Structure 1
Amino acid sequence: MESSTDSTSRALEVRGLSVTFTTRRGPVPAVVDVDLDVARGELVALLGESGSGKSAAARAIMGLSDRNATVTADTLKLGDTDLRTLSEQRHRKLRGTRMSLVFQDALSALNPVLSIGDQLGELFREHRDLSRKAARAAAVDLLGQVGIPAPARRISDYPHQFSGGMRQRILIAMAIALRPELIIADEPTTALDVTVQAQILELLDTLRRDLDMAVLLITHDLGVVSEVADRVMVMYAGRVVEAGSADDLLSRPAHPYTEALLRSVPRADRREGRLHAISGSPPSPANQPAGCPFHPRCEYVVDDCRTTRPPLLASTVNAARFAACHRSEEVGHVAVAG
């Protein structure tokens, strides 16, 4: 899948990324041949159900895959740096300085026995060689940037003294502390209520614009995607099945899976008694069906779907839209009519 993103502005460039886990029952492909670009100042959403391979792809990019995982890629670059050739030590140095990961469970990610000031300050002491006093001042400034009230006073507090939304802001502060080129946010709003979710998304959106950072947002929530994403990539069974601009993809999906996800979202302008539900469950990575992996759950299924896996191809109408479906043009027309 060729991206329209200018190569000179790409913070992240991924081609042919695959992640396979070695298990007692044999190899299990979790991510298969994924292409992905994120430009500076851009927010790209990686969307899909649990088990679709989103987090496995993100951890592979960060160099944090489990020991039983084999990661391969034709291209895996952060700016001009080829991540495939780095030693573990050099990869570790990049994490935090040039790319950062925001976890979904802030309480588990933060050290419960260290104050927030100590945890933030350590980043500046280790990577910027600041004195303890200067590191603390930088940490206070960071807390202010992410909207923590009275940061000079709260810098001495511990994680359990903050609300869930405030802890998530602290994780974002840690992610942006050293001004990385790329932030990967893995389900950063999952455990938060709707109001706090909106605040966290607005914060991520503001920071990436102000600091010209690239953001890869991993989520299963279409509401999250519609609020902040520039582009969307939909994953199913370890592969990208649809990609395009957020406005275009959400208004005119070209893959039955994306269309089904959109129909399952509650809308104020609809008065139906029941929400649409996608029948069945995603296939196990170890036992995927022949042909298109979505065909057992698909309302558009034809014989070709059961035998031939559709490639991810550009739309004949819009070269920036990609879909892996034998009937993508028909799905798009039905979505518009609906």
Structure 2
Amino acid sequence: MDHSPSPALNVRGLSVTFGTRQGPVPAVVDVDLDVAPGELVALLGESGSGKSVTARAVMGLSTGNASVTAEQIRLGDTDLLALPESEHRKLRGARMSLVFQDALSALNPVLSIGDQIGELFRTHRGMSRRQARAEAVNLLGQVGIPAPTRRVNDYPHQFSGGMRQRILIAMAIALRPELIIADEPTTALDVTVQAQILELLDSLRRELNMAVLLITHDLGVVSEVADRILVMYAGRIVESGTADDLLSRPGHPYTQALLRSVPQADTRGQELYAIPGSPPSPANQPSGCPFHPRCTWAVDECKTTRPLLTLLAGGRAAACHRTEEVLDAAVTG
């Protein structure tokens, strides 16, 4: 499954379980993922599928009641599992960054943007206040903030939602990290601004050769920018492959259903398709394939036996008892 001799991010067998009063609740189960330098990988799935929990576990930001286990989590040549928290903290921002979906709550309302960006350079690079401010101005220009020399003195509430998101991206790329994890970075933005933010991430990862893991529930968001897609359902990866393969010929009924849910110009005026039901609670998963209660392809085997993630031709993988039939239907349909 390796797509590069030395992935920027290499995760094997990642599981996250939350301790609750009702007992342990598995939120992420046995996830493998790689992101190569300069590659944009999308982690796709509905809310509650385990995407953000995966991101926080990789960053070392899991909450206190979370138990994180993995065979391997490596950032370049660094074994993150072997690092003490103090060393892990030094890597965050410097070699790996997280872009949150809610810029207003992620930014400090009482500090100017220049101070917030500058703090990264003062803390990690030992720069003077003047040097850090100059770097902040350069970064704001790089992410498309107009009149950066003037706006560097402004506060978060003086920027629009799209501009605040650009500022978060500026902070994420400030120290030229190897890896950026963008967690639903366009959720609260209108469609035009969404496209601009994605184009910005896409151009920056090419320009700086950064690995980007883009977490989203929106297939429409990833179709333009992703090199590969990992589809997540009920805490597990259920399909993976190149964006071209998955979008043109899905091999899992869940991916197929997500694609059907994307509004198309030629279906204007028709009722939009919605996947029936809702994702299962991590604390109460169905037997067999967790998707079977919502799946139009389900047979008796699906209700009793959970399908394993199986490698297919062309380096893609799917966890479905009827993958070949789903793939054939995508061709004939």
Q: What TM-score, normalized by structure 2, do the two folds share? A: 0.99
Query: Aligned partners of 2:269, 2:171: CA distance in 1, in Å?
Result: 44
CA-to-aligned-CA distance 1:125-177 (integer Å, 9 cap, x gap):
01000011000000000000000000000000000000000000000000000
Query: Aligned partners of 1:37, 1:45: CA distance in 2, in Å?
Result: 11
Residue matched to 1:328: 323
- Conserved? CA contact 2:310–2:317, under 8 Å: yes
Q: CA deviation at 1:269?
A: 2.2
Partner of 2:224: helix, strand, or coil? helix
CA-to-aligned-CA distance 1:43-89 (integer Å, 9 cap, x gap):
00000000000000000000000000000000100001010011110
Establish whether residue 6 from structure 1 lines up as the match of residue 4 from structure 2.
Answer: yes
Query: Aligned partners of 1:133, 1:278: CA distance in 2, in Å?
Result: 54
Q: CA deviation at 1:227?
A: 1.2
Aligned residue type for 2:47: S
Query: Aligned partners of 2:172, 2:143: CA distance in 1, in Å?
Result: 11
Alignment of 1:123-142 (within 5 A): 123-142=120-139
Query: Aligned partners of 2:60, 2:218: CA distance in 1, in Å?
Result: 25
- Conserved? CA contact 2:2–2:34, under 8 Å: no
- Conserved? CA contact 2:55–2:181, under 8 Å: yes
Aligned residue type for 2:81: R
Residue matched to 1:235: 232
Identity of aligned residues (%): 78
Establish whether residue 247 from structure 1 lines up as the match of residue 271 from structure 2.
Answer: no
Q: CA deviation at 1:276?
A: 1.6
Residue matched to 1:144: 141
Partner of 1:71: helix, strand, or coil? strand
Residue matched to 1:169: 166
Query: Aligned partners of 1:112, 1:293: CA distance in 2, in Å?
Result: 42
CA-to-aligned-CA distance 1:233-264 (integer Å, 9 cap, x gap):
00000000000000110100000000001011
Query: Aligned partners of 2:168, 2:262: CA distance in 1, in Å?
Result: 29
Q: CA deviation at 1:41?
A: 0.1
Establish whether residue 95 from structure 1 lines up as the match of residue 92 from structure 2.
Answer: yes
Q: CA deviation at 1:270?
A: 2.8
Alignment size in residue pairs: 333
Query: Aligned partners of 1:109, 1:273: CA distance in 2, in Å?
Result: 39
Query: Aligned partners of 1:225, 1:150: CA distance in 2, in Å?
Result: 30
Query: Aligned partners of 1:270, 1:158: CA distance in 2, in Å?
Result: 43
Establish whether residue 54 from structure 1 lines up as the match of residue 63 from structure 2.
Answer: no
- Conserved? CA contact 2:238–2:318, under 8 Å: yes
- Conserved? CA contact 2:180–2:212, under 8 Å: yes
Establish whether residue 42 from structure 1 lines up as the match of residue 43 from structure 2.
Answer: no
Partner of 1:227: helix, strand, or coil? coil
CA-to-aligned-CA distance 1:107-134 (integer Å, 9 cap, x gap):
0000000000100100000100001100
Aligned residue type for 2:317: F
Query: Aligned partners of 1:128, 1:4: CA distance in 2, in Å?
Result: 33
Aligned residue type for 1:218: I
Q: CA deviation at 1:335?
A: 1.7
Residue matched to 1:68: 65
Q: Point out the more displaced range, 327-336 or 105-114.
A: 327-336
Query: Aligned partners of 1:185, 1:104: CA distance in 2, in Å?
Result: 8
Decide which of 253, 272, 276 is 1:279's aligned counterpart.
Answer: 276
Unaligned runs of 5+ in 1: none
Unaligned runs of 5+ in 2: none
Query: Aligned partners of 2:4, 2:126: CA distance in 1, in Å?
Result: 35
Q: Which runs of 4+ in 1 moved over 2 A?
A: 269-272
Residue matched to 1:226: 223
Aligned residue type for 1:29: P
Query: Aligned partners of 2:171, 2:269: CA distance in 1, in Å?
Result: 44
CA-to-aligned-CA distance 1:299-324 (integer Å, 9 cap, x gap):
00011100000000011x32x11000
Partner of 1:135: helix, strand, or coil? helix
Q: Point out the more displaced range, 261-270 or 288-297.
A: 261-270
Query: Aligned partners of 1:86, 1:242: CA distance in 2, in Å?
Result: 31
Query: Aligned partners of 2:252, 2:322: CA distance in 1, in Å?
Result: 8
Aligned residue type for 1:282: P
Q: What TM-score, normalized by structure 1, do the two folds share? A: 0.97
Residue matched to 1:18: 15
Q: CA deviation at 1:272?
A: 6.4
CA gap of 1:94–1:303, structure 2 versus 1, over 3 A, is same
